[in-house]
Amino acid sequence: MKDVAVLGVGMYRFGMGDVPNNVMAREAGMMALRDAGLSFRDVNAAYVGHIFASVMTGVRVMKEFGLTGIPVQRIENASATGSAAFREACLQVAAGHYDVVMVLGFDKMTTMIQQSTQGTAPENMEDSILPAGFFALWATRRMHERGMKPEHLAKIAAKNWNNGALNPMAQRQSTEPTTVERVLKSRMVAWPLTTMMSCPMGDGAACAIVGRADLAKRLRPDRPIVHVVASDLQSEKYVPGHIFMGPVVGAPQMTIDTSQNVYNEAGVGPKDLDLVQVHDAFAIEELEYYELLGLCKAGEAEACIDRGDFELNGRVAVSTDGGLIARGHPGGPTGLAQIWETTLQLRGEAGKRQVEGARVGLCHMMGGGSVCVIHILKRD
């Protein structure tokens, strides 16, 4: 990445409701344009991410902003859809093809759940086990090998619920502080994972406008520039035991390799990060990614959790907006919600959840356990 900046961001609050995709997407997109100080006439191209909507929905939604003839490309990569779309836009700007690109993600997971009646094909046998089941196996393995306790997962979930309560765009916003005890007492999904350790289904939209860094300074001279300094996307490599580790949850080596690539590209390391967003669809994922991203050494995650290393005021704040667990995870817009949050944090505009002095942030998403996308953002 060279001379690429986030010019503006916008979101439509994640949650349950009857608002159609085009309305959610239009609101998020217009918010991002206003935030950037641009109009849709200034946009050279659009990358649109959605998982569950029908064919051509991306183009139809873009018509909400105007008929300007710009190229519109739909991107899909499971949970990493928004992250993958953001990467494509950044690459186009870095290559000099476009000056300003809109990246728009949206989805109505509630509609998908209602329509999901298709059986499992023999070639996709891993689909017969729901993600919660796979991640429960991941958790029980950790308990056996590392001595993890359900309380460690509950501490992660409580942290994210409390962070989400400070985020006006989060789907889950508790009116009182969330405790470890409350998380543990919530309904069991797949032992040891409870509902409060798991992300909800919902709907939503998020948008980022990316462009040349010099435009950011010209458009908003009173605001810090948020640069996209590194981006990488990788798919799986075969490793022994893959069938038990990878079909849904993803091979651990994928996150290790992708993170090393972005650290090298950005010229930073885990110790330089002020905040991190991860794919925490279940609390056990966040715990594992602490180690896979290098935020701590293998086997140290539980001790770090007990010390509060990943709280808002900890050594490196993780899931500052509530993560997938509290902010929500509609699918298409999730990765862009991470960009929204990280951009606000690096500008110093995150309100009560602001990480003091934040200058470098990492956004990590997995797609179907088969791809990993990581970006590093840095303020000037």
Q: How far apart are CA 197 and CA 228, in angstroms?
A: 31
Note whether residue 271 is domain-resident: no
Q: Which amino acid is at 185?
A: K
Residue 15, phi-psi category: left (phi > 0), alpha (psi -120 to 50), beta (remainder): left
| Confidence check: pLDDT of 75 > 60 | yes
**Among all chains, which residue has been given the structure tokens 């994640």?**
14
Q: For residue 38, what is the DSSP state?
A: -
Q: pLDDT category, 117, cuts 50, 70, 90? A: very low
**CA 140 from chain center: how many Å?**
25
Structure-token pair, residue 52? 């569950």
pLDDT tens per residue across span 291-339: 999 999 999 999 999 999 999 999 999 999 999 999 999 999 999 999 9
pLDDT at 110: 83
Report helix, strand and coil shares of the chain as percent, to nearest 5.
Answer: 40, 20, 35
Average pLDDT estimate for 84-113: 94
CATH of residue 82: 3.40.47.10
Average pLDDT estimate for 133-138: 89
Note whether residue 256 is domain-resident: no
Q: pLDDT category, 126, cuts 50, 70, 90? A: low
pLDDT tens per residue across span 26-54: 999 999 999 999 999 999 999 999 999 99
Report angle CA 80, 84, 85 to the nearest 5 degrees. Answer: 120
Share of the chain above pLDDT 90, in %: 86
pTM over the 0.85 mark = yes
pLDDT at 128: 58
Mean pLDDT of the chain: 93
Q: For residue 199, what is the DSSP state?
A: P
Q: pLDDT category, 67, cuts 50, 70, 90? A: very high
Note whether 210 and 86 are within 8 A (CB): yes
**CA 146 from chain center: how many Å?**
27
Note whether residue 105 is domain-resident: yes
Note whether residue 322 is domain-resident: no
Note whether residue 242 is domain-resident: no
Please state the domain count of the chain.
1
Structure-token pair, residue 193? 């994972």
Q: How far apart are CA 39 and CA 67, in angstroms?
A: 13
| Confidence check: pLDDT of 123 > 90 | no
**Using CB atoms within 10 A of its CB, is residue 201 exposed (0-12), middle (13-18) or buried (19+)?**
middle
Task: Tell me how far CA of residue 34 lies from CA of 13, 207, 321, 335, 336, in angstroms.
Answer: 17, 11, 22, 21, 17
Note whether residue 325 is domain-resident: no
pLDDT tens per residue across span 207-266: 999 999 999 999 999 999 999 999 999 998 876 666 544 434 567 889 999 999 999 999
Name the residue range of residue 207's domain: 4-110+201-219
Note whether 296 and 365 are within 8 A (CB): no
